[in-house]
Amino acid sequence: MLWLCLHLPRLPAEALGLDGEFDVVTDQRGASRWLITAAPGVGVGTPLGTALSLQPLLRAHARHAKAERAMLQGLAHTLYHYGSPVHAELREFDETGRAPQALLWLEISASLRLFGGYLQLQAGIEAELAAGRHRISLAVAPTRAAAALFACAGDGIRVRGPAALARRLAARPIRELPWPQAQIEALRGVGLQAIGELRALPRAAFARRFGAGRLRELDRLHGEAAEPAVAIVPPERFRRRFELPGEVEQLESLQFPLHRLAYELQGWLRARDLTLRALRLDCLHARQRTSFTLRFLDAHRDGKRIFNGLNERLGREPLGAAVRALELRATELGGAQRTQSDLFDSGGGQAEWTAAIERIAARLGAHVLWTPAPQADHRPERAWRNDGDAQTVSARPRPLWLLHQPQPLPGEPAVDANVERIESGWWDGGELRRDYYVAEWQRQRVWVFRERAGGRWFLHGLWG
């Protein structure tokens, strides 16, 4: 086993959508209140009163543990395609002044070859989390406990084998262990400073003094005991709620949570190997909610397109009331994203064109665009409709440019030998009986037909 652990020291602030330099999150036990995220001039664990005296510009926000767990779960889904199994833990401490540890683990031994080595894998993970504006520190080790210890220390250590792991751990200070400070101070009080010194103590005596649970944690750290945990699997449906730190009236203040929701949805789509056709966003107010559905021209899983669509749609109409929370859900999904079929076809031009049309529809309304789609009808005039699923019944090629009304031709054109006979519509009063041909007319390739009854010729379409 080879575990990559990510520590997210700013998760309490990220879960609240805070990205200001002087925004800090606080935790509380009784009357004590202290910082669990840092700011210029003040560190984690500083009492709030002291922090305000050192940095008057601070804006303090109460912690929202439920939002942190939801975000950690969403990040686990985002990283699911980089390794499996995936585990997550929001490690809490009962002691005053300590910050929680938000941890994610990926088992990557089978992924290294797939991604071309650790550096490429790390670059992909960092780029994906940077797009969601997350700050991380990471480390790799053969055990989850050791990877978490290294990641929380911020050393970026990579350890592969058990012998190298034992050497690394032996030199680590015991203050890095996620144990109560009272136990750490008791160990240091008898002259113990490094984890290797703990391992040299008699096991029975150590267990009697500090408990069998601590001894078992040391064994797990070194890979000598099992590390049971429940693996995280992305759910079948995406529904994510983002609680705002206060009532928001301006669209600019919703940019950060919208961006975060869009990229969480992108991660979920990638983990499930699905694409998105439509979504629904609910803006929750004090006594009501504002809802709208956003549809895309083609199925995709691009977080940037999702965010741009949401942003444009919200900007089209002013919010009726202050927003307290956002709720995003995927309402219509597609299959796996199509693979590239041409060595030189990146699809960039088509993607830009599609994104531009989606921005127009989101900004001005879907009613301003007409999106043609095949209709299940043999008659050319009725074989198209606005949007919807393709339901064509003709396997013959048809020109995209059809005249609004067929125009009579003065004579008989030179046609090819292939004929398409259409006899349809007798049941609804729109009966047609025609023979269609591809022809050359005035140096242009055209689509013509001859009436079965009168024998007259008509021009009906132009080929590109």
Of the two residues 372 and 235, the one the predictor is more confident about is 235
In this structure, what token pair is assigned to residue 381? 């005039």
Instruction: Identify the pLDDT of residue 356.
Output: 72
Whether 3-16+64-221 and 240-338+346-368 share one fold: the answer is no
pLDDT value for 341: 43
Among candidates 343, 355, 349, which has minimal Cα distance to 305? Answer: 355
Tell me how crowded residue 336 is: count the other CB atoms within 10 A of its CB.
11
Quickly name the fold that domain 240-338+346-368 has: Dna Ligase; domain 1 (3.30.1490)
- Condensed to tens digits (0 to 9), the pLDDT of residues 425-436 reads 888 878 889 999
The pLDDT of residue 317: 76
Residue 128: the pLDDT is 87
* Mean pLDDT within 159-187: 93
The string of pLDDT tens digits covering residues 63-120 is 999 999 999 998 999 899 899 999 999 999 989 999 999 999 999 999 999 899 999 9
State how far the Cα of 300 lies from the Cα of 266, in Å rounded to an integer. 9
Q: Would you identify the CATH topology of the domain 3-16+64-221?
A: Alpha-Beta Plaits (3.30.70)
Residue 12 has pLDDT above 90, yes or no: yes
Domain residue spans of the chain:
3-16+64-221, 240-338+346-368, 377-462
Whether 339 shows a pLDDT value over 90: the answer reads: no
pLDDT above 70 covers what percent of the chain?
Answer: 90
pLDDT at 384 over 90: no
Question: What is the reported pLDDT for 344?
Answer: 46
Q: What are the tens digits of pLDDT across the range 129-146? A: 888 889 999 999 999 999
Q: Report the 10 Å Cβ neighbour count for 255.
A: 16
Distances (CA, A) of 130 to 120, 123, 161, 258: 15, 10, 30, 15
Distance CA 3, CA 104 (A): 10
d(CA 93, CA 106) in angstroms, rounded, equals 23
Look at the chain and count its residues: 464
Q: What is the pLDDT of residue 398?
A: 80
CB atoms within 10 A of CB 2: 21
- Rg for the chain (alpha carbons), in Å? 31
Q: What angle do CA 322, 328, 329 make, to 5 degrees?
A: 150
So what's the pLDDT on residue 390?
46
Of the candidate ranges 153-167, 180-194, 380-394, 437-451, the one whose mean pLDDT is the lowest: 380-394
Which of residues 106 and 155 earns the better pLDDT score?
106
Any long-range contacts for 385-394 (C-beta under 8 Å, 24+ apart)?
A: 394/420
Q: Once rounded to an integer, what is the mean pLDDT over residues 185-195?
A: 91
Tell me the residue type at 155. D
* φ, ψ dihedrals at 52, nearest 5°: -70, -30
pLDDT of residue 401: 84
Report the DSSP beta bridge partners of residue 289: 284
pTM, 2 dp: 0.70
CB-facing half-sphere around the CA of 411: CA atoms within 13 A: 5
394 pLDDT band, cuts 50/70/90, is: low
